[in-house]
Structure 1
Amino acid sequence: MKSIINLFFPKVCYACSDYLSDNEETICINCRHDLPVTDFHFNNDNAIQNVLRGRAKIEHGTALFRFEKKGPVQQLIHGLKYRGYEHIGVLLGDWLGGELKTVAGYQNIDMVIPVPMHPKKLKKRGFNQVSKFGQQIAKALNSQYVDDVLIKITNTASQTTKKQFTRWTNNDELFALKNITTIENKHILLVDDIITTGATLEACISVLSQAKNTKISIATMAIA
């Protein structure tokens, strides 16, 4: 039956657009092997810390892939973000979560918190592109997934459409906390899709750090 369905409604790889075989899901085997994984969490690479150096303190930081314009990672994230292919977020969350649960620094994560969207933008899009990603990581780490503590209070245009200078200077008071005691004395894993200048994550960390004795680590789908 599955083969018959694929005959009339063929599945394609969301990274390269080639047809998937019956035993492939979402991404073809070739792309899985060729995607530019970073292995930051295995190699103790400080690339994420270096982006935020002098601006925000984090315990650990990692990204699953390196982002290249017009590359397969861009295709995956754009499919997730703009076409609503949320199963891409599930796949990437399972992938990274499965790796992080084997790394000591991530085994004591208490909560996974996504970078939030403004309610108006969330209503328009219908979903936060990092929700499934974060949920699957939380499941792998046996942690809580919490999306009602960190909130976005300013509805800004997409960061990808702005020049770097604007991104570095427009993040004052973009985010706020609700029920701050919820995250006190917790190790939080803050998740997002891409880290570029780090301005958005810096703003989130600044707000989360207002909670007493809170430690913060970072995990993203990609680093540009």
Structure 2
Amino acid sequence: MHLFYPEVCQGCSTSLFKGENVLCFTCKAQLPIAYQHLDADDKVKELFYGRTEIAHARSLFFYEKIGIVQQLTHALKYQGQEQISSYLGKMMSEHMKTDPGFQKVTHVLPVPVHPKRLKKRGYNQVDGFGKEIAKALNAKYLPNLLVKTKNTINQAKLGQVKRSDETKSIYTLNEPERIPEGTHLLIVDDVITTGTTLSLCTRELQNIQGIKLYVATMSISI
């Protein structure tokens, strides 16, 4: 199949060569890495100040409206390129293996999507991302601990005020009793902008006694 329909780079649309996956080496070298960037780290944490207590939080990339990260995110969410999720999960894992802030994580949870959207897309866009991270951290993966109960519109098209109003009380815990006390749980998402989605998720998760929460995302909007 690849002889007649070669895989192409999700950044520049050129054919991929042997050893390249998802992105060509040129596009991969241009990725705006945010991990271990002090300003990016502070920005992620600032989004949760006064809203929810997060033990540690990081993003892999800076997200810009035009650029390779935007193209990757769009292809993942709207063009059926599910493999991008695992690809980014492996990249994130390489950073997290040496990050002491994540070494106590015992469980990994993806931000859930509504069943209707899941059926339409066919997958949760952060599922592969979360699974690769869980594997790297020797953590248990929990895809169904949180359930999204309201099918909201695309939040990327909303302003911060509307985004907050749109997403009130839309997540619920599913069988929280199976989570042991003292769990260190990492919740993963694609793009973090205002932090509203993750704040709402962590608000529900904090109903689990003794839980400690962590956050990791594919990118952070700048």
TM-score by length of 1: 0.93
Determine if the alignment matches structure 1 residue 127 to structure 2 residue 133. no
RMSD: 1.7
Deviation at 1:174, TM superposition (A): 0.8
Deviations 1:42-90 (A, max 9, x none): 8993221111211111000001000001210010011111111111111
Equivalent residue letter for 1:92: L
1:10–1:20 CA contact under 8 A, matched in 2: yes
2:35–2:95 CA contact under 8 A, matched in 1: no
Give the match for residue 204 of structure 2: 207
TM-score by length of 2: 0.94
Give the match for residue 114 of structure 1: 110
SS of residue matched to 1:8: coil
Give the match for residue 155 of structure 1: 151
What pairs up with 1:68-217 in 2 under 5 angstroms?
68-183=64-179, 184-217=181-214
Separation in 1 of the partners of 2:86 and 2:106? 20
The change in CA–CA distance for 1:69 and 1:140 in structure 2 (over 3 A counts) is: same
Which one of 23, 33, 36 corresponds to residue 37 of structure 1? 33
Equivalent residue letter for 1:17: S
Deviation at 1:7, TM superposition (A): 4.6
Identity of aligned residues (%): 42
1:13–1:26 CA contact under 8 A, matched in 2: yes
Separation in 2 of the partners of 1:74 and 1:136? 21
Q: Which has the higher helix share?
A: 1
Which one of 2, 6, 23 corresponds to residue 10 of structure 1? 6
Unpaired segments ≥5 residues, structure 2:
none
Equivalent residue letter for 1:218: V
Number of residue-to-residue matches in the alignment: 220
Unpaired segments ≥5 residues, structure 1:
none
Give the match for residue 219 of structure 1: 216
